[in-house]
Amino acid sequence: MTIQDIMSKEQIPYCVIVNNTLKCKICLGDKNKVFPDDLIRMIENDETLSNLIQSLEKQMLPAHWGQGKIEMLASVPREKIVVLLFYYANDDVIFEYRRGKKIDTDLKGLDYEKIFNKEEIS
């Protein structure tokens, strides 16, 4: 399974993967398909993104943030790796919680070394 497989299966239009060891990030998908885009614009600022990542150390994961129908799911599938997924949420909080846990489990199974070496990004 690849990150694109997860995005396709879960209908996730946009994803940001951050590697804190390498100090780099990869953006996948089309952020223009996510509106309103305030959550995306928030993490485009490096300082805000850094603060968000630091705050995850104190959170139950995966963590969810919402703005209207837009959901941002934050996962830490490996040490120093943070995955932020942006998608349209269902109104059912229990459904979204279970969906987030499933996505988090799937993300933990990916090879992030291959992703950051661009081997698994089409």
What is the CA 119 to chain-centroid distance, rounded? 19
Give the span between the Cα atoms of 79 and 7, in whole angstroms.
Answer: 21
Going by pLDDT thresholds of 50, 70 and 90, the confidence category of residue 46 is: confident
pTM above 0.85, yes or no: yes
Residue range 14-43, pLDDT digits in tens: 999 999 887 889 999 999 999 999 999 999
Q: Which sign does the torsion angle of CA 105, 98, 28, 81 carry?
A: negative
In this structure, which amino acid lies at residue 51? Answer: N
- Residue 15, beta-bridge partner list: 28, 85
The CATH class for the domain spanning 3-116 reads alpha beta
From the list 1, 26, 8, the residue with the least C-alpha distance to 16 is 26
Domain boundaries, the chain: 3-116
Going by pLDDT thresholds of 50, 70 and 90, the confidence category of residue 121 is: low
